[in-house]
Structure 1
Amino acid sequence: MSFFTRAAILFYVTIILFLGCFAVLYVLNVLSYKDIADLLYITYLDDHLRVAVGSIAVGLLFINFILYRQLDVNAHKEKIIAFDNPSGRVRVALVALEDLIRRTISRFPEVKECKVDIRASKRALDVKIRMVLCSEVNIPEVTSIVQETAKRKIQDIIGLDESLNISVYISKILGDPVKDKKAGKKENLEERSGTQIPFQGYRA
C-alpha cells in the first residue's frame, strides 16, 4: 500500500469519525440545536473566525483533490507496464495479461474457476491468482504447476526477465466434476461399443 493510499484512508476515516461523533452527540442531546446555531452565528460575525474556517475548508478541498489525483495516477500506473524496444516504447495493459493467464489456467481440469489480478510495482509484478478447485486434487502440485505456468506465460509474452511474485489463493474446493466427467465419457464409450449396427448386406 503506497503512502498516498494510506494518507487518503486516514484522511477520510478522520472526517467520517468526526461527522459520526457529531451526529451521535446531536442525537443524544449533548449538543443542542441552539448551541450549533450560536456557534455558526459567532463564526459568521467574527471576521477572524470566518477566515480560519474558510482556510480550513479550502485546505480540505485541496487535500482531497491532491489525494484523488495521486490515487488516480497510481491506479493507471499499476495497470500498465512499459518497456523500450529498438523501434520505440511499448506499453502493455495488465488487463490483457490477466485475461490470458485466466484463460490458460481455466483449461486445467483441476480448476473450476479462476480470477487473476496483476499489479505492477517498481520492484516486481505482483500476480494474485484466486481459484476454485475440484476435490481430491494434490493442492501443492496443482498450485506449483499453476504458478510455473503463469510465470512462463508472462515472461514469454513480455520478453523480459521481470521479477514475479505469484501468490495463489484457493477460495473453495468443490465436488469432483473431473471424476464425474471421466465417468460420463467412459459410459458413453461403453454405450457406443455396445451398440450393434444392423447388417445391411454385402455391397459390390
Structure 2
Amino acid sequence: MTQNPGKPASPADLRALDIYDFAENKRQAAGALRVSQMPRMLAEVPAEAPEDDTVFTWQGEGSTQPELQDDGTEAPQPYLRLAVHGSVWLTCQRCLSPYSQHLDVDATYRIVATEEEADEYPLDEDEIEVIVGSRQFDLVDLIEEELLLSLPLVPKHSVCPEVHESLLSGSVEGEAEESGEEEAEKPNPFAVLEKLKTSGPEGKKH
C-alpha cells in the first residue's frame, strides 16, 4: 500500500494495514467505503430504503508522541486519528418509514501492543480511545465499528412526514383499553340497585 499524504487507499489494503509504520512515519490516507463493504452496517439498512449502498468518506493520519516509560526513559507512542463522514438509511421508530441519517466520526486512538495494555489504560482519558495495533491491521473493521457506535439509540426523523397507521391503531386500542379499565373500576349502578332490592327487605325491621 502506498500511503503518501493525501493519496487514497484501496479497501483491500485497508484490511492489512501496518498501523505501526503508518503512525511512526506520520502517514496520511483517505478514501471512500460503501455500506455494502460493511456487512454489519448493511444489516441496519431497511429493505424499503430508496438506496441501500451509500458511501462514507474517511481520512486517517498517523503520529507519535513522546511518553514516559516504566524505566524512566521517553519513547515515541504511536497514535491514529480517524475521521469518517456520510449518511446511512435507517428505519424511523416513530413513523416506521426509512430516513437518511448523517453520521460523523472524529476519533483519536492510542495504539498499544496487547489487550493487557489496552485494559490497563486509564479510563479518564475521554478524548483518547485505545486500540491494539498490528502489522496487518483491519482499518475497515475499525471504521465500521465506529459507525455502528455512532448510530442513534432510537432512530427517528426530526419531523416525521406521517404517522404509520399501525401506530395510530395501537394508540386507539390503548386508549380503549384504558377507558375499559376505568369503567371496570367504577361500581355498576344496576348492581348496587340489585343489592338494595335483595338485601333491603331482609334487613328491614318491623
TM bucket, shorter chain: under 0.3
Which of the pair is proportionally richer in strand? Answer: 2
Higher helix fraction (1 or 2): 1
Q: TM-score, normalised by structure 1?
A: 0.24
